[in-house]
Amino acid sequence: MPCTTVLVGKKASYDGSTMIARNDDGFFDVKKLIVVDPKKQPRKYRSVIGQLEIELPDNPLRYTSTPSVSTKRGIWAANGINEANVGMTATETITSNPLVLGADPYVRFRKAESKKEKDVPGGIGEEDLVVLVLPYIRSAREGVLRLGELLEKYGTYEANGIAFNDKDECWWLETIGGHHWMARRVKDDEVVIMPNQLGIDHFDFDDAYGKKKNYLCSADLKQFVEDNHLDLNTDGNFNPRYVFGSHSDSDHVYNTPRGWFMGRYFCPTKFKWDGENADFNPESDNIPWSLVPEKKVTVEDVKYVLSSYYQGTPYNPYSNVAEPKKGMYRSIGIGRTGVMAVLQIRGYVPEAIRGVEWICFGSNAFNTVVPVYTNTDRMPKYLSEVALDVSTENFYWGSRLIGALADHNYGTSIQFIERYQMAVASQGHQIINEYDKKMIEAGRFDLMNEANEKLAAMARKETTNTLNNVVFDASKNMKNNYNRSDN
């Protein structure tokens, strides 16, 4: 699924927390935010796409999830934080190449062609991964290892990147062919910028097969590379992009420009991003996977880059300037996004309240992000009770409606969007600060549900107010308006 990911190490963030975030860019998927009770976690899981049945452990943890409202294509839980304060987002669709897939083909479901044959199950994929992994891990590293075991055992039918975080570490795993994988720990002082390409640009096999401090991989990965003549590097540095990734013209329209804009935002002066002799341009294949940002990174920074449509560049599709380059690259914040979540694990507060999930629905260019505490047994109805029919009674559809209206009236509606985003983010921080202090001082962590209800009520009020504004603005801009009164 086309997505964009940002990962933030604890020394790169404004408050010492780790953060992982991803746009889930499906096809206008209707999403909701729920809490999955251990009693409702399946013990025998069956996928829709792969038609694969997997036995699950008997000791699942409670976790948050943003599943699709329609279950015809499966659960598609997308992301969440479990009660051990481990976050997971799955997945970023990445890329591969014919050499890799010729050596280790994807494991795809095969329908029996006659009564004498049986269906052959496929592997696991984005539909399944959060449900199969998040309820059973107590650290980001454990997430990598559990998913790695599942990939080696069952295989996968697609190429994906998956992120995990706990209070100390962020890890990024990328699948390779049908059964192989590699993972790299994000350095504490760095941010990772990931469009829809295989992203890791350096891998240390000595560490992966030795101390396993910063690198992990499937047991036979190095031999797999050697046996199949996959290593295209010539300088002694093992760059997985050359070995496992793609090298297509479409990457320069669809993927690399997103990496360019995010790198440009986080490191505006460290590198030259524009003009002649730029270090990196929108079509550069060597934009770093990770960077040390020039300032500490906030939730709002993550939200901004994941909402980007190339503001301040010639590629902005909303520009009112006659610019021939506008709209030529795929934006980061696009219309069909279902959900974006920033999964924040805060090591400086008591364990009960470490997990905060900042959630938004619909097109990030026009929505806002609201935080909720995750170590709780339920989510407010405004976030969790969503149907397939359009409504103003929940955050998902309110966000979609605002985006659909504001997009067509960008020049006049953007002021309402900016005020909306500022209002919700400001009050979100205020309420979290208020309840952090209240719960720590009183030792009453059962107040999380009260806090979440207050956050949802605030989001509802601001969303309704903004919807009123953009509806009126759109009404004024209707093509059949006339200035002369009909009275």
Out of 3, 170, 267, 360, the active site residue is 3
Give the DSSP per-residue string, 414-474.
HHHHHHHHHHHHHHHHHHHHHHHHHHHHHT-GGGHHHHHHHHHHHHHHHHHHHHHHHHHHH
Q: Can you give the residue ranges of every domain in the chain?
A: 3-365, 382-478
The model's pTM is: 0.97
Q: Identify whether the C-beta of residue 399 lies closer than 8 Å to the C-beta of residue 362.
A: yes
What pLDDT sits at residue 486? 58
* CATH number assigned to the domain covering 3-365: 3.60.60.10
Give the DSSP per-residue string, 364-410.
TTT---EEEE-SSS---HHHH---SS--SSSHHHHHHHHHHHHHHTH
Distance, in Å, from the CA atom of 181 to the CA atom of 218, rounded to the nearest integer, reads 6
Give φ, ψ of 47 to 5 degrees.
Answer: -80, 155
What pLDDT sits at residue 1? 58
Distance from the Cα of residue 481 to its chain's centroid? 41
Residue recorded with tokens 């279902």: 338
What pLDDT sits at residue 353? 98
Over the chain (487 residues), the average pLDDT of each successive run of 10 is 92 98 96 97 96 96 98 96 98 96 98 92 98 98 98 98 98 98 98 97 98 98 98 95 94 97 98 96 97 98 98 95 92 97 98 98 98 98 98 98 97 97 98 98 96 98 98 94 69
What pLDDT sits at residue 323? 85
Asked if 267 is an active-site residue, the reply is: no
